[in-house]
Amino acid sequence: MPELPEVEVLVRHLAPLLKGKTIRAINVRRTAVLAPTTVAEFMGTLLGGKFTGLTRRGKYLMFTLRAAGTGDPFLLVGHLGMTGRIYLQRKSAPLPKHAAVAMELGAARFVYEDPRYFGRLTLDTRGPAKLGPEPFAPEFTVSYLAGALGRSAQAIKVRLLDQTLVAGVGNIYASEALFRAGISPRLAARKLRPAQIAALRRAIRGVLALAIRRGSTLPLDFSGGPRGDRLFYHGSAPVADGLAREMLRVYDRAGLPCPTCGAAIRRLVQAARSTFYCPACQCR
DNA sequence: CACCATGTTCCTTG
DNA sequence: CCAAGGAACATGGT
């Protein structure tokens, strides 16, 4: 589910729902997702606290809160890993099987669930601090990108997954951006010509912006419960799987025709991750 | 049973 | 010391 666009859509959805809500009780069912924060620290800091805002940095969710009593502001950092979800449910609803943390906010309950438990909900802010520029920030310029790619011999597809290069591009949108830019995923980063670097920057911004605008190209489901409850977000409902698929031009389309030229899309493995590309449109 | 999976970190190898 | 590759984390889908 989560690369930058999915997190952005989630943040926009949750921010107004969380603002002003007070944490009245906390249930930690998987202590590992708090790491390196301990359960005692987590409880002590969050209990009685109030949500003041929510923003995104790369693939991280940055919850801002004010502590009970002192009113001191602090940050709660969320990351959805591969399969994490955050949503609100009614307090009377049953907790899902893989709920890692639940927080009672009155009528609503904040649920962080993750079947694989790769994600995090923590007070440790070192993760987002290491990130490179936001793709939409003015600092993400052609000259920045040219400098950051530098003399690296690493394949450009693999470089794009480095969150210190640019924040928020994951395995799906790395393939999609390279397709848009007409660049081979195998091309060494240092071999990109200036025109290709400019095209790649434009493609990254374009593909992420389009995904956000469409509410994401992926079949999202932030609900976790039955439909019809206004506390739920039914992100998946209007986005049929087939329609979502059309948004992705190469990812997971091995053997299918390239939407531009009709050649068969290929899959290759780089750094133990799948890459999809058109051998005809992305020959350089 | 085999293989694949939207992410990040750590370890080994060269 | 650095880069690159792979395994690990834990579970579910096909």
Per-residue pLDDT at A1:
65
- Per the annotation, the verdict on A59 as an active-site residue is yes
- Single out the catalytic residue among A191, A267, A273, A279: A273
Is A6 considered catalytic here?
A: no
A3 has catalytic annotation: yes
Identified catalytic residue from A3, A8, A113, A176: A3
| A153 CA to C3 C1' distance (Å) | 9
Q: List all nucleotides in chain C with at least one atom under 7 A from a protein Cβ.
A: 3-12
pLDDT value, residue A92: 94
The C-alpha atoms of residue A130 and residue A120 are separated, in whole angstroms, by 16
Cβ of A274 near strand B (under 7 Å)? The reply is: yes
Using the C1' atom of nucleotide C12, identify the protein residue whose alpha carbon is closest. A115
- The answer to whether A50 is a known catalytic residue is no
Which residues contact residue A64 at a Cβ distance below 8 angstroms, ignoring those fewer than 6 apart? Answer: A51, A52, A53, A54, A55, A73, A74, A75, A76
pLDDT in tens, A144-201: 999 999 889 999 999 999 999 999 999 999 999 999 999 999 999 999 999 999 999 9
Give, as ranges, the nucleotides of chain B with any atom within 7 Å of a protein CB: 4-9
Separation between Cα atoms, residue A239 and residue A258, nearest integer Å: 22
Q: What's this model's pTM, rounded to 2 decimal places?
A: 0.92
Q: Which of A59, A85, A120, A157 is catalytic?
A: A59
Q: How far is the CA of A268 from the C1' of B11 (A)?
A: 25
A274 touches strand C (CB under 7 A): no
Q: How far is the CA of A105 from the C1' of C3 (A)?
A: 47
Nucleotide nearest to A97 (CA to C1'): C11
Q: Which residues of chain A have pLDDT under 50?
A: 217-220, 225-242
